[in-house]
Amino acid sequence: MTGSADTIYALSSGPLPAAIGIVRISGPKARAALEALTGRVPDQRRAMLANVRDPQTGETIDQALALFFEGPNSETGEDVAELQLHGGRAVIAATFAALARLPGLRPAEAGEFTRRGFDNGKLDLTAVEGLADLIAAETDAQRRQAVRQLQGALSDRAENWRLRLIEAMALAEAGIDFSDEADVASDVAMRSLHAARLLQQEIAALLADGRRGERVREGLVVAIAGPPNAGKSTLLNRIARREVAIVSPHAGTTRDVIEVHLDLGGYPVTLLDTAGIRETDDPVEREGVARARARAAAADLVLWLTEGEGSNPDSPVDPGPVMWRIRTKIDLHPGESADRGAPHNSAVGDRDAYDVSAVSGQGVDRLLDDLTAFARSAIGSGEPALVTRERQRHLLEQAEAALRRAAGEAEAGREDTFAEELRVAAQALGRLTGRVDVDDLLDKIFRDFCIGK
């Protein structure tokens, strides 16, 4: 990203047209830009009604609310100005054109406002990730988890560990460098080892969460699988309450995996409609079948569909952890339906099954209720998880492994390598929050933000 000596501007509200369009300006010339467009600068954090004019022509662009936040007490840590305009495309375009003609101003890049906040110490890397997740949240569980991350739940814990680790490192270094000094306690090495063991146990306990945070963020994956014409696409459309997949009586209609994101009781679930699994000579359909097998095998739950009581009861896929059997088209086989329901932990080979009609909706509500309960059980309904991304988990695993190695080195009497492993662990914790060695990660992280954030 370009250096923060520039003053940047962007639309920081939703897509146009809208009732309100918020234009945000950040940088050393934010005050001057606001004054050029409105004629004066309001008191800090006080909204001012102003006519927004093009400084070059004097033409009125719009009437808006203007606000000013002096750095470092702003979101970015710099001077920040905001114009709350009417959200018409022409209004925003004219405002941007006027700003572009002011010296030292340029349009912001994706995520640049948040990047400046990070650079100026307004939030750390885990909070940045929490903000990104909050913007992308589609369910209540995702929102709660993202808010907790944004408020520093993980970074506070990591900072506490880092400070304790620094203290352990200081004790270890004192034991190495000043062991012959009278004023250095003889038990410094044992105290450092004890601190390292406690930290290792705490980090290991945090990591033993079944990856709940990643599940909430990415969503539980449920694959609808089965032979051709078992009603997979019809059931997907019924659950999604819209025509997502093409429904046809011809085998092989679904060639690729179709994904639908659902909110089931506040929990994120990704529903997959897969190709009908059968032997085929069609190379395109054969690829679809291969993808269906792979996605079903990797899913958290497989709904294996068969039509009626006796058709194709066995599943030729390598299943995920749990499989439920669904008998479909019961409106065409009324004598076979018993409105049975499968328990949440029904395993492969369990002959309990659901009887549903995706056309009439019979049995579908019961299936959805159990899917919601399955998501609640798999994700957990308690306190949101602290670890929400693979990057975070990987760094914590590095720190935990280094602390385990450190304990082994200390027990073997190798004080130098013990201290080095403590430094490795401290570096991993520092990278978690963005304190050290993260320059190569920053562009990738902030690139995923929208313009104006």
Tens digit of pLDDT for each residue in 344-393?
A: 344 333 445 788 888 888 889 999 999 999 988 888 767 788 999 999 99
Q: Judging by beta carbons within 10 Å of its beta carbon (0-12, 13-18, 19+), is residue 172 exposed, middle or buried?
A: buried
Ranges 84-88, 220-224, 250-254: which has the least confidence:
250-254
Predicted pLDDT of residue 361: 86
For residue 316, give the nearest of 324, 304, 334, 332 by alpha carbon. Answer: 304
Q: Which SS3 state, helix, strand or coil, does residue 54 take?
A: coil
Other CB atoms within a 10 A radius of the CB of residue 223 amount to: 29
Predicted pLDDT of residue 4: 59
Predicted pLDDT of residue 45: 93
Q: Which domains does the chain have, with CATH numbers?
A: 7-122 (3.30.1360.120), 138-209+387-447 (1.20.120.430), 216-379 (3.40.50.300)
Q: Which residue has the higher pLDDT, 436 or 196?
A: 196
Q: Is the peptide bond before 72 cis (omega within 30 degrees of 0)?
A: yes
Close Cβ partners of 36 (under 8 Å, ≥ 6 residues apart) = 55, 102
Q: Which SS3 state, helix, strand or coil, does residue 63 take?
A: strand
First to last CA, the chain: 14
Ranges 64-78, 305-319, 386-400: which has the least confidence:
305-319
Q: Judging by beta carbons within 10 Å of its beta carbon (0-12, 13-18, 19+), is residue 155 exposed, middle or buried?
A: buried
Please spell the DSSP secondary structure of 351-389, one letter per residue.
--EEE--TTT-TTHHHHHHHHHHHHHHHH-SSSPPS--S
Q: Does the structure show a pLDDT above 90 at 78? A: yes
Report the alpha-carbon distance of residue 163 to residue 161 in Å, rounded. Answer: 6
Predicted pLDDT of residue 339: 46
Q: Which residue has the higher pLDDT, 110 or 178?
A: 110
Predicted pLDDT of residue 187: 65
Looking at residues 117-124, what average pLDDT do you find? 92
Predicted pLDDT of residue 280: 55
Q: Which SS3 state, helix, strand or coil, does residue 224 take?
A: strand
Predicted pLDDT of residue 260: 86
Ranges 200-209, 254-263, 416-425: which has the least confidence:
254-263
Q: Is the peptide bond before 15 cis (omega within 30 degrees of 0)?
A: no
Q: Does the structure show a pLDDT above 60 at 67? A: yes
Q: Which residue has the higher pLDDT, 289 or 391?
A: 391
Report the alpha-carbon distance of residue 420 to residue 172 in Å, rounded. Answer: 10
Confidence label for 71 from pLDDT (cuts 50, 70 and 90): very high
Query: Do residues 123 and 52 make contact, with C-beta atoms less than 8 angstroms apart?
Result: no
For residue 273, give the nearest of 328, 323, 233, 227 by alpha carbon. Answer: 233
Predicted pLDDT of residue 118: 92
Q: What does the DSSP 8-state code read for residue 336? A: G
Global pTM value = 0.77
Predicted pLDDT of residue 298: 78
Close Cβ partners of 138 (under 8 Å, ≥ 6 residues apart) = 261, 263, 268
Predicted pLDDT of residue 330: 81
**Rounded percentage of the chain residues whose pLDDT exceeds 70:** 77
For residue 196, give the nearest of 431, 396, 428, 419 by alpha carbon. Answer: 419
Query: Do residues 274 and 223 make contact, with C-beta atoms less than 8 angstroms apart?
Result: yes
Looking at residues 107-132, what average pLDDT do you find? 93
Structure tokens at 439: 């320059």
Q: What is the dihedral of CA 177, 180, 182, 183, to 10 degrees?
A: 10
444, amino acid identity: K
Q: Does the structure show a pLDDT above 80 at 14? A: yes
Report the alpha-carbon distance of residue 231 to residue 326 in Å, rounded. Answer: 10
Report the alpha-carbon distance of residue 154 to residue 388 in Å, rounded. Answer: 9
Predicted pLDDT of residue 308: 64
Looking at residues 191-196, what average pLDDT do you find? 89
Query: Do residues 158 and 432 make contact, with C-beta atoms less than 8 angstroms apart?
Result: yes
Question: Furthest-apart CA pair in the chain: how many Å?
Answer: 91
323, amino acid identity: M
Close Cβ partners of 221 (under 8 Å, ≥ 6 residues apart) = 269, 270, 272, 295, 298, 299, 300, 301
Compute φ and ψ for 216, nearest 5 degrees.
-65, -45
Mean pLDDT, the chain, integer: 82
Confidence label for 335 from pLDDT (cuts 50, 70 and 90): low
Q: What does the DSSP 8-state code read for residue 110? A: B
Predicted pLDDT of residue 282: 59
Confidence label for 74 from pLDDT (cuts 50, 70 and 90): very high
Predicted pLDDT of residue 176: 63
